[in-house]
Structure 1
Amino acid sequence: MRIFSHTCSNTEIVCALGCGDQLVGVDADSDYPPEVVAGLPKTGRDLDLDVAAVHALQPDLVLSSLTVPGHEQVVAALQAAGLATLVCDPQSLDDVYDDIRRIAAALGVAERGAALVASMRSAMPMVEVAGARPRVLVEWWPKPVIAAARHSWVNDIIHRAGGINPWGTVEAKSVPLEYADAAAQRPDIVAMSWCGVKVENYRADKVRARPGWDGVPAVRNDCILAISEAFLGRPGPRLVEGYRQLRAAVAAAGSSATA
């Protein structure tokens, strides 16, 4: 089967299923695994996809998603071009697992999909916490602060890692916040996972310098960490690494609280 992947997460799912050799092209942001994507045609970024170029690659199936605002127009253009599409729109960790199984079934490797989901479940167990769970802010953007909300797989990951998301009851995928409103929730941990920014450019000093944040527990106790958006923002196999890093931060915050 000839597959075109329109999003990083779907590219990574295809490769984790052992089907990377079926990819005939990817979007320009798909950068993992490098040994697979380096030599593939790239037809533009996710919101600026060259649909004609995708069509020219003659894919049997285009894997797309609705995880970014504006993707719906791209999906409509792909379908208008007569391309068969499989569209993902995960909002929970279980949705991510369902999408992996759907993609695996479409590629004829359903058993690999089940195995991958089982592996991810095993690698992300529910952590039982003695006492209060640390309050975790996962922020997709620093100014304004954009926090993961209820309809996000990250909300589930925070809980599984032993934390609690102060915005986990907000009926949205994410929520923009004024600095004062974010500080008022007194997060114990701030995880920078800024979309579209390389992790080496995440700056904890930008968090510390926010007005009124000197009393925020995460700032006071230096619990500000950088977790690549590749590990939290892409609903695919590498969410396991994001979970591991959050779990380590939660454990460290718990140790500090009892010290």
Structure 2
Amino acid sequence: MTGLHVFCGPQRYTPRMLRPPRLASLVASNSDILAALGAAAWVVAADSHSDAPGLEGAVRLGPDLDIDVAALSAARPDLVLASLSVPGQERVVQRVRDAGLEVLVLDPISVHDTLADIRTIGHAVGLADRAEEVARTLDAELDTLRLPFSAPPRVLVEWWPRPIIAATRESWVTDLLERVGAVNALADRAGRSAPLTLDEVRAARPDVIVCSWCGAKRLRPEVIEARGLGVPVVAIHESGLGRPGPRLLEGARHLHAALESLVPA
């Protein structure tokens, strides 16, 4: 299921309310979207991974997969924003629903879905015009980053090293790579991500491996280099590749810079 937008709860926020909505964000990508919309100050509660500017006043709820629902309820949000882009968050969503809170659940798997989610969140919080501007700008700026490869390089984006987990076909990474002129080396493998053996990584024939470990305090591309595949490895923080929101532009710019040297003279 893609592009899932589910509200539940006793009351949906509408722009006719006399005060800004009290918002809660359970994943960093949604917090990034709210910050881009200028609504970070409306966030009364957020997961501990969210690092968007303007969240200083938000109650921290713990990791995105271990949300303190009691603390969330105590923050009295009008709307809770969740996302199934974080594997396993569906269990958190059920607990939020059981608490009687109104929740908007997003489920992006592509850049197109991400642009739609920016617009959906903007509409939900009364900032539709600003959301349209953010989405259009992101889309246009991504278009400027395409490199003129005669044969698109095959790129493998690694989310975790042990076991090796990498982005597969149903990931926004596939679209993002296409926007810069490359291809996902695992585009023939179904799903959003998959564990891989070293032989499977070798069989994918990547020209470049991207180290973008989710939740890692420090990226260590030398760990990937030590596998002996003889493939260039670049490090790009997961905030640029692992969050389906406006910061995908950062990831695309890093990909562009990393791949530019591969363009034939």
Question: 2:73, 2:57 → 1: CA distance?
Answer: 18
Matches within 5 A, 1:1-259: 1-33=21-53, 36-125=54-143, 127=146, 129-198=148-217, 201-210=218-227, 212-213=228-229, 216=230, 218=231, 223-255=232-264
Q: CA deviation at 1:112?
A: 0.8
Structure-2 separation of matches of 1:196 and 1:24: 23
Q: How far 1:39 moved relative to its partner?
A: 3.3
**1:102-140: per-residue Cα shift (whole Å, max 9, x none)?**
100001111111100101011101625242111111110
- 119-128 vs 188-197, which moves further: 119-128
CA distance in 2, matches of 1:250, 1:72: 35
Q: CA deviation at 1:38?
A: 3.0
SS of residue in 2 equivalent to 1:136: strand
The Cα shift of 1:187 comes to 1.2
Using the TM superposition, give the Cα deviation of residue 144 of structure 1 relative to its aligned residue in structure 2, in angstroms: 2.4
**Structure 1 position 167, deviation (Å):** 0.8
- Secondary structure at the aligned position of 2:123 is classed as helix
1:163-195, Cα deviation, whole Å (9 max, x unpaired):
111211222001211112101222111110001
- The amino acid that maps onto 2:60 is K
How has the CA–CA distance of structure 1 residues 14 and 87 changed in structure 2, closer, same or farther, with 3 Å as cutoff?
same
Distance in 1 (CA, whole Å) between partners of 2:235 and 2:147 is 24
Amino acid corresponding to residue 22 of structure 1 in structure 2: W
Does the 8 Å CA contact 2:29/2:243 hold for their aligned counterparts? yes
2:140 partner SS: helix
Give 1 or 2: higher helix fraction.
1
Mind listing any 5+ residue stretches in structure 1 that lack a counterpart?
none
TM-score, normalised relative to structure 1: 0.90
8 Å CA contact retained: 2:164, 2:195:
yes
Distance of 2:23 and 2:149 partners within structure 1: 47
Answer whether contact 1:189 1:253 (CA < 8 A) is retained: no
Runs (4+) of structure 1 exceeding 4 A deviation are: none
SS at match of 1:124: helix
- Structure 2 stretches of 5 or more lacking a match? 1-20
For 1:74, the aligned partner's letter is: V
Aligned AA for 1:176? P
Q: Structure 1: which amino acid aligns with 2:164?
A: V
The worse-fitting range, judged by mean Cα deviation, of 179-188 and 124-133 is 124-133
Q: Identity over aligned residues, as a percent?
A: 44
Distance (Å, rounded) in 1 between the aligned partners of 2:35 and 2:184 = 31
